[in-house]
């Protein structure tokens, strides 16, 4: 199929393209949180710790974060249809490997293959929206995308809970295979290209630097939970990660054809909303990891009960996302973000004083409140930043935004598990001297210490949310920037080399 010139994108049928790509993104993002409710079961089956099991989620997000910087290059080098179909085939391969896994290493391998495909889909979808929709209509379009990137992860625990309760955990992956095949078939029939192919060379050194940088940071954060923040291994890997990312950034700014054009950060609203999105993403992934551990490991709820607790919030989010998109097109992102952040902070505070008798209804209400707050600000924040970028930076801005969100989710999840583990150990040591006087046995001590550790982790989330709220006060509604001379020349040179 031949490429469609950008000037003709208004005349193409947007509906089929959006439907197929959103469905693919829905399946990809659903996998990010399918493992959260299944984590306690997998810990028992594979005889692994929580810190090890969480790699099924953080490893997935890490591969996304490592791969997404390359998508700016891929979106220039390959057509929309080629790239989407390739990503879905990779995702299908990872799903099959996960389904047949007989041990934790093979399951983790399958998850990372899945992530390699999923990491391409979301930035590609966002870039397609920026190409076929004018700025004044992108909010509504991105609101529909919110069904995939927010609604899908939100209902993931519910689906996983039902499966774990009634079937083997492998069913989660076997059930995904036919839906993925359907998307691939529909893609061959209906998907069209909406961008021009630009031949350019891949910067392998930048790929290596970004991979080392993001990988080392996440590994350092994850190991801190068991080794402590002062451990040499933790400090050295974090230092290596920071150094590699610094070199990656320096090379990108010096290069005429960077893997990821960081000049997008010179646009103030893009930079501000990207920073706020880091805080929002860390806050969003909080109860996807912490709440199932509290409900199942501490309170003894079943997997299906744990999943059902999150369902009301997921349904409300699904309803609110398109509405929020339309509100953004009319009013902008500032007040939606501020209101959403306040709601999220207040409801998260409700999780900082959990006990062994906190009611199920209370947890449902607080969790649903968090989802409402998230629905108000997630897509408006990202769209507001991308809307400011000139057309030539769309692919790079999309890649940057998705990279940072994925890495923030991975680091945030690791950080929260680290805080929970570290504080649980501290509370346990503090409680041992008075345990005999209070008549507490070892099991009761561990249970109480774990609850206190989870409370402390939620308190950290509140602090991150407050930072995001303060930054949200500086959001302004801006118009799309015009092309700058260096960028225009760079794009022209690329086209001439085609």
Q: Assign 3-state DSSP to the chain and report helix, strand, coil percentages, each to 5.
A: 85, 0, 15
Residues whose CB is less than 8 angstroms from the CB of residue 266 and which lie 6 or more positions away in sequence, other chains included: none
What pLDDT sits at residue 282? 86
What pLDDT sits at residue 86? 92
What pLDDT sits at residue 467? 94
**Residue 231: inside a domain, yes or no?**
no
46 is in which domain, residue-wise?
12-203+255-496
**Residue 233: inside a domain, yes or no?**
no
What pLDDT sits at residue 263? 85
CATH code, domain with 122? 1.20.1250.20
CB atoms near residue 4 (< 10 Å): 19
Residue from 87, 59, 92 nearest 71 by CA:
87
DSSP helix/strand/coil, 138: helix
**Residue 238: inside a domain, yes or no?**
no
Q: Report the C-alpha gap between 123 and 404 in whole angstroms.
A: 12
**287 with 367: CB under 8 angstroms?**
yes
**Residue 245: inside a domain, yes or no?**
no
Q: Report the C-alpha gap between 130 and 395 in whole angstroms.
A: 9
Residue from 484, 476, 481 nearest 273 by CA:
476
Q: Scanning the structure block, which residue is given the tokens 């192919």?
A: 197
**Residue 230: inside a domain, yes or no?**
no
- For every residue of 350-412, DSSP letters joined together read TTTT--TT--HHHHHHHHHHHHHHHHHHHHHHHHHHHHHS-GGGHHHHHHHHHHHHHHHHHHH
**Residue 392: inside a domain, yes or no?**
yes
Q: What is each CA distance from 319 to 67, 325, 341, 379, in whole angstroms?
A: 31, 11, 19, 14
* pLDDT < 70 stretches in the chain: 1-12, 33, 36-37, 58, 61, 65, 147, 149-151, 153-154, 195-197, 222, 224-226, 228-229, 286-288, 410, 435-440, 483-498
**Residue 1: inside a domain, yes or no?**
no
Residue from 329, 388, 369 nearest 465 by CA:
369
Q: How many domains, the chain?
A: 1
Sequence length of the chain is: 498
**Residue 81: inside a domain, yes or no?**
yes
CB atoms near residue 329 (< 10 Å): 18
Give helix 14-46 / helix 104-132 axis angle, nearest 10°: 160
Give helix 394-438 / helix 268-284 axis angle, nearest 10°: 30
């Amino acid at each position: 199929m031949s490429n469609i010139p950008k000037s003709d994108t208004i005349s193409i049928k947007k509906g089929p393209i959006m439907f197929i790509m959103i469905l693919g993104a829905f399946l990809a993002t659903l996998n990010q949180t399918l493992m959260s409710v299944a984590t306690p079961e997998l810990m028992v089956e594979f005889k692994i710790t929580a810190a090890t099991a969480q790699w099924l989620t953080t490893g997935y997000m890490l591969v996304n974060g490592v791969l997404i910087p390359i998508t700016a290059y891929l979106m220039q080098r390959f057509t929309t249809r080629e790239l989407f179909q390739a990503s879905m085939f990779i995702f299908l391969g990872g799903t099959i490997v996960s389904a047949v896994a007989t041990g934790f290493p093979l399951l983790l391998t399958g998850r990372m293959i899945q992530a390699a495909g999923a990491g391409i889909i979301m930035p590609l979808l966002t870039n397609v929206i920026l190409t076929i929709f004018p700025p004044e209509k992108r909010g509504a379009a991105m609101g529909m995308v919110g069904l995939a990137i927010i609604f899908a992860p939100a209902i993931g625990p519910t689906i996983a809970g039902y499966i774990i309760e009634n079937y083997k955990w492998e069913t989660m992956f076997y059930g995904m295979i036919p839906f993925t095949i359907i998307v691939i078939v529909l893609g061959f029939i209906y998907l069209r290209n909406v961008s021009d192919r630009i031949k350019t060379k891949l910067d392998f050194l930048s790929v290596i630097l970004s991979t080392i940088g993001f990988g080392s940071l996440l590994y350092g954060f994850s190991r801190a939970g068991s080794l402590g923040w002062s451990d040499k291994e933790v400090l050295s890997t974090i230092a290596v990660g920071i150094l590699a990312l610094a070199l990656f950034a320096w090379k990108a700014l010096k290069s005429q054809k960077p893997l990821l054009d960081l000049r997008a950060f010179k646009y103030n609203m893009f930079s501000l909303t990207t920073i706020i999105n880091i805080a929002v993403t860390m806050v969003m992934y909080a109860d996807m990891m912490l709440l199932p551990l509290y409900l199942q490991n501490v309170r003894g709820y079943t997997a299906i009960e744990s999943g059902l607790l999150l369902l009301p919030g997921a349904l409300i989010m699904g309803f609110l996302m398109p509405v929020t998109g339309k509100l953004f097109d009319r009013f902008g992102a500032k007040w939606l973000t501020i209101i959403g952040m306040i709601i999220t902070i207040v409801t998260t505070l409700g999780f900082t004083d959990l006990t062994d008798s906190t009611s199920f209804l209370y947890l449902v209400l607080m969790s649903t409140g968090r989802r409402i707050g998230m629905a108000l600000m997630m897509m408006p924040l990202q769209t507001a930043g991308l809307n400011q970028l000139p057309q030539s930076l769309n692919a790079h801005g999309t890649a940057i935004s998705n990279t940072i969100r994925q890495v923030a989710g991975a680091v945030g999840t690791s950080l929260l598990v680290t805080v929970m583990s570290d504080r649980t150990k501290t509370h346990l040591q503090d409680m041992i001297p008075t345990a005999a006087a209070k008549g507490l046995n070892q099991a009761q001590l561990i249970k109480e210490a774990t609850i206190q550790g989870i409370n402390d982790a939620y308190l950290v989330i509140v602090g991150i949310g407050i930072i995001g709220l303060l930054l949200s006060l500086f959001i302004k509604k801006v118009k799309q920037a015009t092309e700058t001379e260096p960028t225009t020349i760079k794009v022209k040179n690329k086209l001439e080399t085609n």
